[in-house]
Structure 1
Amino acid sequence: MIDLNPLGRLPYRRIRVRGPSMAPTLRDGDVVLARRGERARAGDVVVVTWAGRPGQLSIKRAVRPDGDGWFVVGDNEIASTDSRELGPATVHGVVRRRIWPLRRA
């Protein structure tokens, strides 16, 4: 069987945040731990892809189920490309915690 989940086969994956779309919750360079296959709930920070950008993982906030996917947005709405432009996203995992940096200055 081929595993098509972009988070891989293991239950957890470390992901480095790129860009300002989730500020102030997550910042560029933060490293998060995401659990694949976990069911998303409204308010969760999730790892997603869009049909129009299949190779690009993004980290966004789940707002509501939308058809076969989720309507997701960035916490920094002026610096986020999200479901408002790209439509429903496919959720691949739920971010469980930020693992680096350990503390903010």
Structure 2
Amino acid sequence: MGLARVRGASMAPTLLPGDLLVVVHGRPPVPGDVVVGELADGTVAVKRAVERRTTASGAAGWWLISDDPAVGVDSRHRGPVPEERVRAVVVGRLWPRPRRL
């Protein structure tokens, strides 16, 4: 387990800049999971895992996208992310605490 902080607005409205996330390393993602992944340019980002795809080298990978497609860089710009570069799966948000409705 570990922590990750959201930077940027690409995951809005689901996640906002400054949100602190609880992540699990080594857990394989399933479609729909929010993950921490390393894009082809080396950028480490919080994105949504949409589907498994084949990378340019023929290996299995994940198509990672932003929840707000108008903001940020994701697999639409950098291609699929190899499985070994999907560093963690987000399992919860620690901060800010969810509000009671």
Per the normalisation by structure 2, the TM-score is: 0.85
Cα distance in 2, alignment partners of residues 84 and 51 from structure 1: 11
The residue number in structure 2 matching 1:72 is: 64
Q: Give the SS at the match of 2:90.
A: strand
The residue number in structure 1 matching 2:21 is: 32
Q: How does 1:1-105 map to 2 (within 5 A)?
A: 12-53=1-42, 56-67=43-54, 68-89=60-81, 90-104=85-99
Cα distance in 1, alignment partners of residues 8 and 28 from structure 2: 25
**Per the alignment, do residues 29 and 104 of structure 1 end up closer, same or farther by CA in structure 2, a change over 3 Å counting?**
farther
Cα distance in 2, alignment partners of residues 44 and 62 from structure 1: 5
Q: Shift in Å at residue 66 of structure 1?
A: 1.1
| Root-mean-square deviation over aligned CA pairs | 1.4
Q: Which runs of no fewer than 5 residues in structure 1 stay unpaired?
A: 1-11
Q: Percent identity?
A: 41
Q: Shift in Å at residue 104 of structure 1?
A: 4.7
Q: Shift in Å at residue 29 of structure 1?
A: 0.4
Q: Which runs of no fewer than 5 residues in structure 2 stay unpaired?
A: 55-59
Q: Give the SS at the match of 1:92.
A: strand
Q: Give the SS at the match of 2:70.
A: helix
State how many pairs are aligned: 92
Per the normalisation by structure 1, the TM-score is: 0.82
Contact 2:49 2:63 in 1 (8 A): yes
Runs of 4+ in 1 over 6 A off after TM superposition: none
Q: Shift in Å at residue 80 of structure 1?
A: 2.4
